[in-house]
């Protein structure tokens, strides 16, 4: 009897521990489920020639909310797609975006989070803009030209005014909302050709970028979506003429051979 009592106590304590752990794990599982959303995907290849989209052509697809395309259609709105036609070919299993369906209303404001404003930004070089898609994350860099007074060696001479160029990061991470004509459809003639995109910014950042476009040359840098590295401007620093002063130090000049290689 004496040996039975400790055994019973051990079993009870074990059950209590299991119950406590399950209570701790259950909320975490619930939180993990909240990270996912259900969007509309193609159950078969859908082309513009197929005509009106049928419900059987669509399927539910679970995706992390942070990884869902900007114009992904929530599964709760699947009825809006049925009976419409596609404007491009959508592969089997691929997301069906709002820009893929003719007649589906696209509201840019729906892509904004609370406290965000949509602002157009025009970049000096549109090369990278051609590759951007809604939902991409970019950094915005700016090059400014400042007038600097340089005193001559001869103090009797008048100081010289020179232009100094400096490049730094304005915003380290910005979300792209749209490109082109605002309908979400990329075309050869307007897909970033002008270098203009629409981004999501806070009101203070919006005012800053509007002013920066009047005084600076702006350039985009594509980031990996969800990257948590380099989120502060000071992490990058500033590039000036001094940055390149030491590039040629301790380097020997290259002498070109008289004959071509292999001769």
Name which of 155-164, 166-175, 201-210, 236-245 the model is least confident about: 155-164
Q: What is the C-alpha separation between 215 and 27, in angstroms, rounded?
A: 51
Using the predicted structure, report yes or no on whether residue 124 has a pLDDT greater than 60. yes
Among candidate residues 107, 49, 35, the one with its CA nearest the CA of residue 77: 107
Q: What is the C-alpha separation between 191 and 201, in angstroms, rounded?
A: 22
Within 8 A by CB and 6+ apart from 140, the residues are: 121, 169, 170, 171, 174, 199, 209, 218, 219, 220, 221
Name which of 5-19, 93-107, 128-142, 147-161 the model is least confident about: 5-19
Within 8 A by CB and 6+ apart from 70, the residues are: 111, 134, 135, 176, 177
For the chain, give the number of residues: 263
Give the model's confidence band at 29: pLDDT under 50 very low, under 70 low, under 90 confident, else very high. very low
Pick the most confident of 86-90, 208-212, 223-227, 239-243.
208-212
Using the predicted structure, report yes or no on whether residue 4 has a pLDDT greater than 70. no
Average pLDDT of 164-171?
Answer: 92
Using the predicted structure, report yes or no on whether residue 188 has a pLDDT greater than 50. no
Terminal-residue alpha carbon distance, the chain:
102
Tell which wins on pLDDT, 263 or 149.
149
Using the predicted structure, report yes or no on whether residue 52 has a pLDDT greater than 50. yes
Contact 194, 144 (CB under 8 A): no
Average pLDDT of 58-84?
Answer: 84
Give the model's confidence band at 263: pLDDT under 50 very low, under 70 low, under 90 confident, else very high. low
Tokens for 142?
């700016």
CA 70-72-76 angle, 5° bins: 130
Give the model's confidence band at 30: pLDDT under 50 very low, under 70 low, under 90 confident, else very high. very low
Using the predicted structure, report yes or no on whether residue 192 has a pLDDT greater than 50. no
CA 236-68-49 angle, 5° bins: 125
CA 79-85-90 angle, 5° bins: 95
Q: What is the pTM of this model?
A: 0.60
The reported pLDDT for the residue numbered 3 is 57
Contact 195, 126 (CB under 8 A): yes
The reported pLDDT for the residue numbered 121 is 95
User: Quick one: which H or E segment has residue 200?
Assistant: strand 196-201
Q: What is the mean pLDDT of the chain?
A: 80
CATH architecture of the domain with residue range 35-106:
Alpha-Beta Complex (3.90)
Give the model's confidence band at 141: pLDDT under 50 very low, under 70 low, under 90 confident, else very high. very high
Give the model's confidence band at 80: pLDDT under 50 very low, under 70 low, under 90 confident, else very high. confident
% the chain with pLDDT above 90: 31
Distances (CA, A) of 262 to 100, 115, 258, 259: 56, 66, 12, 8
**Residues carrying CATH 3.90.1210.10, the chain:** 35-106
């Amino acid at each position: 009897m004496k040996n039975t009592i400790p055994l019973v106590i051990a079993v009870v304590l074990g059950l209590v521990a299991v119950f406590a752990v399950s209570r701790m794990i259950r909320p975490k599982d619930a939180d993990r489920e909240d990270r996912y959303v259900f969007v509309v995907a193609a159950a078969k290849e859908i082309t513009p020639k197929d005509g009106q989209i049928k419900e059987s052509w669509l399927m539910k697809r679970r995706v992390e909310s942070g990884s869902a395309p900007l114009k992904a259609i929530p599964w709760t709105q699947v009825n809006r797609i049925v009976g419409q036609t596609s404007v491009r070919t959508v592969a089997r299993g691929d997301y069906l975006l709002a820009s893929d369906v003719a007649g589906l209303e696209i509201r840019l404001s729906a892509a904004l989070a609370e406290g965000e404003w949509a602002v157009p930004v025009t970049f000096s070089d549109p090369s990278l803009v051609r590759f951007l898609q809604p939902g991409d994350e970019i950094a915005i860099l700016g090059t400014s030209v400042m007038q600097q007074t340089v005193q001559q060696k001869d103090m009797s001479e008048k100081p010289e005014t020179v232009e100094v160029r400096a490049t730094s990061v304005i915003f380290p991470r910005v979300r792209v909302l749209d490109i082109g004509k605002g309908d979400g459809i990329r075309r050869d003639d307007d897909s970033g050709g002008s270098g203009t995109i629409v981004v999501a910014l806070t009101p203070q950042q919006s005012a800053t970028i509007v002013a920066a476009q009047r005084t600076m040359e702006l350039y985009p840098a594509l980031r990996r979506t969800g990257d948590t590295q380099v989120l502060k401007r000071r992490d990058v620093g500033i590039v000036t003429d001094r940055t390149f002063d030491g590039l040629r130090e301790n380097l020997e000049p290259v002498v070109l051979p008289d004959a071509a290689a292999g001769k």
